[in-house]
Amino acid sequence: MKNIAILCSGGDVSGMNAALKRFVEYTLAKGLRPYFVYNGFEGLIDNEIVEAGYGDVSGIITRGGTKIRSARSQRFHEKHYRQKAIENLLSHHIHAVVVLGGDGSFKGMKRLSEESDIAFSGIPATIDNDIAGTEYALGVDTALNVIKYAIDAVRDTAASFSRAFVIETMGRECGYLALVSALTSGAEMCLIPELPYDLEHYKRRFLREKEEGRTYFIAVVSEALDNTEMIRQWFETEIGMEARTTILGHIQRGGNPTVHDRMMAFHFVTQAIDGLLGGKKESVVCYRDGGFDYLPIDDVAFRTYRLPESLLRLGKEFNTLSRV
Ligand code: ATP
């Protein structure tokens, strides 16, 4: 194995550029020749495969997103396009590929691995933190910090203007971002798909707090519930407080990567390359119990992520908190 490539697939996250920097520096240190695949699987099909060097990664560590761009590819679901992707990789004598992405990307990677002798190593990268087998996916810490700044700022205005704010976070079907953000920003309400909640309980508590002098509330709700506007109206009709919504949207995906994401990018890439050099044909680098591990793609891409029990317990406590 001499030539090795890296690509980003699915939603981009902050920390991908740090991963690219480590990829180039570590592969060169190991005597390998690094290649970038631009535009994810689309770029594999279209042969956007370019040798990379130190100059390509200078000054990118501070930037969110990914210098080599990411993409979703409808064509990649079709075998003849995947065959084209394999031919393109082999035309550059590339026999190993690192893929940064989510479970969809790993499913695509699995297909390519079954249809060729090329080795693949996946690195979990999604702000949703919803990938089975790993406690951490690249980009999550930066997203949490973006949300933290946003909620802190909203709190300033909510407190000054006696309003309730309903803040909607991303995460698709997973409530991780909403729950961690609610806990760490001191929100009064947190609604996520993994936990049942009782609006009557919240109502009793909030009315009592209002009587005691509370002038604002912060609610964090997961986009999965699709009830942000309904909760805003609930604050107005049931709690009797003017309410606004803030939908954070894609700002959660960007921004200057945190120190944690930069370090995790370095570790993930190092593990991925070491795994490939050690002969792993298809695996995903997972972070759990404070260390890194390799899981077969099947155990990651085709399993459902569950929030850790310890976090769910905190969420249950939060949802049933009662001062009444
Ligand atoms: P995110 O968390 O941002 O959604 P993801 O990797 O899960 O990241 P997807 O859009 O699900 O994002 O998948 C990325 C790409 O992987 C798809 O556009 C497609 O090209 C490829 N892919 C997904 N599933 C398959 C599959 N079953 N077979 C072949 N390719 C697939």
Q: What is the pLDDT of residue 188?
A: 95
pLDDT of residue 324: 45
Same domain, 290 and 208: no
What pLDDT sits at residue 322? Answer: 59
Q: Are residues 78 and 131 in the same domain?
A: yes
Q: Which amino acid is at 162?
A: S
Distances 297 to 19, 48, 111, 112 between C-alpha atoms, Å: 20, 25, 10, 12
- pLDDT for 323 equals 53
* C-alpha span between 319 and 228 (Å, rounded): 17
Ligand 1 binding site (Cβ under 6 Å of any ligand atom): 9-11, 41, 72-73, 76-77, 101-105, 107-108, 111, 126, 128
Q: Print the domain residue range for 225.
A: 141-253
CATH number for the domain that contains residue 213: 3.40.50.460
Same domain, 218 and 198: yes
- Reply yes or no on whether 12 is catalytic: no
Q: For the residues of 173-212, what is the DSSP string, one character each?
A: T--HHHHHHHHHHT-SEEE-TTS---HHHHHHHHHHHHHT
Q: Quick check: is 272 in a domain?
A: yes
Distance CA(90)–CA(113), nearest Å, equals 13
Angstrom CA distances, 244 to 145, 155, 216, stand at: 22, 12, 11
pTM, whole model, 2 decimals? 0.95
Residue 309 lies in a domain: no
Spatial strand order in the sheet of 243-247: 189-191, 217-222, 164-169, 243-247
Q: Count up the domains in the chain and report the number.
A: 2
Residue closest via CA to ligand 1's atom 29 equals 108
Judge whether 323 lies within some domain: no
In-domain check, residue 15: yes
Same-domain pairing of 187 and 160: yes
Residues 269 and 203 in one domain: no
Ligand 1 pocket mutation, candidates 69, 72, 79, 81, criterion most atoms within 8 A of CB: 72
Cα(first)–Cα(last) distance of the chain, in Å? 66
Closest-CA residue, ligand 1 atom 27, reads 107
Point out the domain boundary residue: 223, 253, 283.
253
Is 243 domain-assigned?
Answer: yes
| Rounded Cα–Cα distance for residues 114 and 126 (Å) | 24
Phi, psi of 222 (to 5 degrees): -80, 140
Cβ-contact 163, 210 below 8 angstroms: no
Query: In this structure, what CATH number is given to the domain that contains residue 40?
Result: 3.40.50.450
Note whether residue 278 is domain-resident.
yes
For helices 140-161 and 176-185, give the axis angle rounded to 10 degrees.
Answer: 50
Regarding whether 114 and 41 lie in a shared domain, the answer is yes
Per-10-residue mean pLDDT for the chain, 324 residues long? 94 97 98 98 98 97 97 97 98 98 96 96 97 97 97 92 95 96 96 95 95 95 97 98 96 95 98 97 96 97 94 90 58
Q: Indicate the residue type of 196.
A: P
Residues 155, 11: one domain?
A: no
Instruction: Give the per-residue pLDDT at 71.
Output: 96
The answer to whether residues 95 and 44 belong to one domain is yes
Is residue 308 in some structural domain?
no
**Cα-to-centroid distance, 303 and ligand 1 (Å):** 15
233 and 178 co-located in one domain: yes
